Structure 1
Amino acid sequence: MTMQMSVLASGSTGNSLYIENGERHLLIDCGLSGKKMVELLAQINRKAEDIDAILVTHEHSDHVKGLGVFARRFHTPVYANTKTWQAMSASIGEIPNDQKFEFQANTIKDFGSLSIESFSVSHDAADPMFYMIHEDDKKITLLTDLGYVSEHIKGMISDSDAYIMEANHDTEMLMMGRYPWSVKQRILGDTGHISNDESARALTEVIGNKTRRIYLAHLSRDNNMKELARLSVGQKLESIGLRLDHDLSLVDTDPEQATCLTAI
C-alpha cells in the first residue's frame, strides 16, 4: 500500500499531521478546536469519523487543544505515554477508558501495516516524543518542538523519504522582537525550539538518497516567515549541492490550511 500524508496545520497556534495507507487513517496531534479539525480534514476530502487513532507527541495546547472534544465526539482511540496522559488530563477532559492507550517513548507500535516508532526529544514538556512512520521501505519523520537535534536522533531519522521538520524562528527576529527575555531564553534553550539555521544544519546531515520532500513546520507567528524559513533552509541545502525542485522539494505548512494529500 502507498502512504499518503497531509500536514493539516502547523505553527505556534496548532499542529496536526494526517497519515493514511488505505487501511489505516491516523492523526498525530490534535492541536486545533474539534470544529477546525473537521474542517481541515474536509480540505483533503477526509472524514473525522474515519480516523482510527490519534497519537500524541506532548501535552502543550497547540498539540492537544481539540483532542478531548474530537475523541469524545468520534469515539477515537488516543495513544500517549504515561507522563503525557497525566500532564494533559486536566486540559482535555474525561476520555472513556476504552479509548485510552499507552504508547511509551522509544518503542514501536503497529497500526495495520503502518509501523510507528516513537523517540524522545529535548523539550519543556512532561515526556515529549515524536514519531517515524514506516511502511515497507518508506519512512516519514515528524520532528518539531525540540531544543536541539542530538546525534542519536540524527542517526535514527537519516534518509527519510519525507521530513516534517521544525523551523521555528529566525534568531534575529526573535532577539529583536517583543517577547520578554525569559521567553526568548526558553525558545533558544536546549528544551525550546530550533531555528531556521539549526533546522537547515540538521537536515544537511540526515537527508539521504531517498529524501524527496521536506515540510518546514511549526513556524512562529511572531518570529518567522514562510519566505524566510524557505530561504534559510534552501540556501543551506543548495550549498551542499542539492537542487531544489529537482532532487527534493521544500514545502510550506500553514496554521490554517492543510497541505495537499501527497503519496510518499
Structure 2
Amino acid sequence: MIRFCSLGSGSAGNALVVEIGATRLLVDCGFSVQELERRLARVDLAPRDLTAVLITHEHADHIGAAGPLSRRYDLTVFTSPGTRLAARDDGFAHVQEIQADAPLDIDDAWVCPFTVPHDSREPTQFALSDGDHRLVLMTDAGHISPHMVAMASGADALLLECNHDPAMLAAGRYPASLKRRIGGGYGHLPNHAATELLRNIDQSRLRHVIGMHLSTDNNDEALARAALADGLGCTPSDVDIATQDQGFCWRTTAPA
C-alpha cells in the first residue's frame, strides 16, 4: 500500500509526502524549514519522521529549504547531478545522486526517476512503488513526451500538472518573456496537455488522478477539473485538485 498527501502545490511551493511500508519520503521541499514543519504538523508528522528527501529540480518552489532541512534533521537528499550542481545551497547533510531511468530502493520504497522536458539543469520526476502499486508524480514539463506516456501508463495514482489555460496566460498580466517561458515546450503543462496524456495512457489500474501545480493567475480550478475529466471520461466533480495552501489530504492505493 502507498499512502500519500500533498503539503502544497503551486508556484509558491511544492512538497509531497509518500509513505511505503516504514519508509516516508518527502518529494520536493519548496518551503522554508519553519513552514514545512508547520505543514507536516498539519498531517500529524514532523521532519524527524522522514526517511529521505527527493528533489525534482533546482527551481526555488521545489528545492526551497532542502539544504537547511537536510542539515538540521540529518536527512539524505536524492537528486540528479545536474540539480545538485545548479542548487544555490547544496550543502546537504548527505546526498545521493540519481540517474534518470535507473531505479533504486530506498528502504521499503522502489523509486524510478524519469526525465521530463523542463527548463532546468537535469530535471526528474518520480514513479514510486511498493511492488504491487505505483504512484507517478508528473509536473513541471513543457509538453507530453512518449516517455511520460509510458511512465504514466498502468499507474494506480497519477499526480498530473495542469498549470495553465493558454487563453488566460495570453491575456494575463505576465510579461511577454515569462508567458513564452511558461507556454513553451520546456515550461509548464497546459490543461489540454493533461487531457491528451490521459487519453493516451493505460488507465486500467488508475484509482487516483489529482491535478497539480495550478497557476493562481493563469488557470481556474473548474477548467483544470474539466480537462482532467475529459481525459478520464468522468464528471468534473469526480476529479481532485491540489491547492497551494492545503495541497490535498491523505490518499491510499489500498482497495476501497
Fold agreement, TM-score > 0.5: yes
CA contact (8 A) 1:40 1:258 kept: no
User: Structure 1-normalised TM-score?
Assistant: 0.91
In the alignment, the residues of structure 1 paired with residue 89 and residue 194 of structure 2 have an alpha-carbon distance, to the nearest angstrom, of: 31
In the alignment, the residues of structure 2 paired with residue 151 and residue 177 of structure 1 have an alpha-carbon distance, to the nearest angstrom, of: 31
**Is the aligned partner of 1:171 residue 2:166?**
yes
In the alignment, the residues of structure 2 paired with residue 13 and residue 124 of structure 1 have an alpha-carbon distance, to the nearest angstrom, of: 18
Aligned partner of 2:89 in structure 1 is 92
User: Structure 2-normalised TM-score?
Assistant: 0.94
CA contact (8 A) 1:44 1:258 kept: no
CA contact (8 A) 1:43 1:258 kept: no
In the alignment, the residues of structure 2 paired with residue 25 and residue 9 of structure 1 have an alpha-carbon distance, to the nearest angstrom, of: 17
**Is the aligned partner of 1:260 residue 2:255?**
no
State the 1:114 CA deviation: 1.2
Aligned partner of 1:18 in structure 2 is 17
Aligned partner of 2:73 in structure 1 is 74
Structure 2: which 5+ runs fail to align? none
* 2:83 aligned counterpart, secondary structure: helix
* Number of equivalenced pairs: 253
* Percent identity (aligned): 33
Aligned partner of 2:203 in structure 1 is 208
Superposed CA offset, 1:98-136 (max 9, x none): x11111222111012310001111100000110000112
Structure 1: which 5+ runs fail to align? none
- Pick from 116, 123, 135: which aligns with 2:118? 123
Structure 2 CA distance for partners of 1:113 and 1:94, relative to 1, 3 Å: closer
Superposed CA offset, 1:26-82 (max 9, x none): 011100111111111111111211101001100000001121221111111101111
State the 1:243 CA deviation: 5.7
State the 1:174 CA deviation: 0.1
Letter in 2 for 1:111: I
In the alignment, the residues of structure 2 paired with residue 204 and residue 235 of structure 1 have an alpha-carbon distance, to the nearest angstrom, of: 8
In the alignment, the residues of structure 2 paired with residue 3 and residue 234 of structure 1 have an alpha-carbon distance, to the nearest angstrom, of: 24
State the 1:202 CA deviation: 0.8
CA contact (8 A) 1:15 1:30 kept: yes
| Matching of residues 1-264 of structure 1 within 5 Å | 2-88=1-87, 91-92=88-89, 94-96=91-93, 99-238=94-233, 242=234, 249-264=238-253
State the 1:233 CA deviation: 2.2
Letter in 1 for 2:232: L
State the 1:93 CA deviation: 5.4
Letter in 2 for 1:223: N
CA contact (8 A) 2:15 2:29 kept: yes
